[in-house]
Chain A
Amino acid sequence: MKCTVCRGEAVIDLRRHNANFCREHFLRFCRDQVAKAIAEHRMFGPDDRVLVAVSGGKDSLALWDLLVELGYRAEGLYIDLGIGSYSEASTATSVAFAESRGLTLHRVDLREEHGYDIPTAAAVTRRVPCSSCGLSKRHLFDEVARTGGFDVVATGHNLDDEAAVLLGNVLHWQTEYLGRQAPVLEERDGFPKKVKPLVRLSERETAAYCVLRGIDYIVEECPMAAGNRHLRYKEALNALEAASPGTKHAFYFEFLDKAADRFRPEARASQEELRPCTSCGAPTTAEVCAFCRLVERVRGAEPVPVEVLGSKGRRRRRRNGAARDGAAAEAGATAAAAGERVRP
């Protein structure tokens, strides 16, 4: 297979672009796609200070690397979620990445600074881990952006993420969420501007970027993610993509072009008045913000190790008679059971 640009040996075929690229031209393709997303959606300019949400996974490290390559002023923020060995490995990977490139990585340790971790929060609130995790991350990114004087928060959401969220919103006709889904969320009443510069790159492309740039990222999945609904949507979209390359891109970008505006009034109508949280000052619709209420509830609770959370879940499912013999059946049942309780 030959590179579409230089006829050299190709290392990757991108059927949705009807193109094959050698290493050099694939890396250039990725930079061009990100530059295009930033320009088209007016995400930020060369003087803006960008705070990159870093997890140690392929998307956030590719994003940070790409922004630096493109000459932007990008610093990272890593939140240690306390999810057992997964968080330990993620921390080490993120720190090593920043150090090897001489980049500034800000760090927040949930356990040290706020007295809880995600497995414990999940056990105490009896909600799926992603619920308190998402809430904590959003709050802390906003806070660090505000106190650190950043102009914008950039997250590593890629085309697959956005298409999967869109599919979920469409399948359940979440019109309010549809009205809010966009690659840019403008600044509002103390919430920083948020952008997704990777929306034009698929997950396979961001992973390939990391491999070809020699970026060591966490390939392991968060143990809390197994089998959630978001993953099933991605698999469904990839089945369509395999049969008809370009489907994901069309689904998402045609939505932005032709349909997103129709749902905006609904999203605006549901926007409630915001005021500062009486405890931390963050904008909120309530007296005390959701983050402060979560901290209040879970701080000081007996720490629940991630393994315990997992085995408890398995016991509960076994009682329900969901698990069958064999590892595969167990994995399938786990996925199904976890999926029902996760909201994307």
Chain B
Amino acid sequence: MRVVLRNPRRELEVAGPISVTKLLRQLDLNRESVLVVRGDTLVAGDAVLSDDDTVEIRPVISGGAS
């Protein structure tokens, strides 16, 4: 499965099937800080991603100080 990370943009190969929650734990990401995007929609925490999926893990924290 192809996993696209942002800021900076990079890609990882992760073996599927794996649930979204497990994937985030494996990558040591806080589920409050990211969304998992597949195509034009989102995948919820318990959804299982298959080996031929491509997902984007999108950070949602922005840091403007004003």
Contact = CB atoms under 8 A, between A and B. Distances in A.
Interface of A: 1, 10-13, 20, 23, 55, 57-59, 128, 130, 133-134, 137-138, 160, 202-204, 206-208, 211-212, 214, 219-222, 225-231, 234-235, 238-239, 241-242, 342-344
B24 to A, nearest CB: 10
A166 to B, nearest CB: 14
Contacts of A239: 30
Contact of A203 (B31, B43, B46, B62): B62
B41 A238 contact: no
20 contacts: A10-B44, A13-B45, A57-B62, A203-B60, A203-B62, A204-B60, A211-B35, A211-B41, A212-B42, A220-B6, A221-B7, A226-B63, A228-B63, A230-B64, A234-B61, A235-B30, A238-B61, A239-B30, A242-B30, A343-B65
Interface of B: 6-7, 30-35, 37, 40-47, 58-66
B62 A12 contact: no
Contact of B44 (A13, A57, A134, A228): A13
Contacts of A344: 65
A1 B44 contact: yes
Contacts, number: 99
Contacts of A128: 65
Contacts of B44: 1, 10-13, 20
B9 to A, nearest CB: 9
Given A207-B58, A211-B35, A231 B41 contact: no
Contacts of B60: 58, 203-204, 206-208
Given A11-B41, A241-B32, A222 B63 contact: yes
B7 A204 contact: no
A1 B47 contact: yes
Q: Is the interface of B mostly helix, strand, loop or mixed?
A: loop
B41 A222 contact: no
Given A204-B60, A207-B35, A238-B30, A230 B41 contact: no
B64 A225 contact: yes
Given A204-B35, A242-B31, A12 B42 contact: yes
Nearest to A168: B65
B25 to A, nearest CB: 11
Contacts of A20: 44
B32 A204 contact: yes
Nearest to A331: B8
Contacts of A242: 30-32
Nearest to A214: B40
Given A212-B41, A220-B7, A228-B65, 18 more contacts: A1-B46, A12-B42, A128-B65, A130-B64, A130-B65, A137-B66, A203-B60, A207-B60, A211-B35, A211-B42, A212-B42, A214-B40, A220-B6, A225-B63, A230-B63, A230-B65, A235-B33, A238-B30
Contacts of B61: 160, 203, 231, 234-235, 238
Contacts of B46: 1, 13
Contacts of B34: 204
Nearest to B65: A130
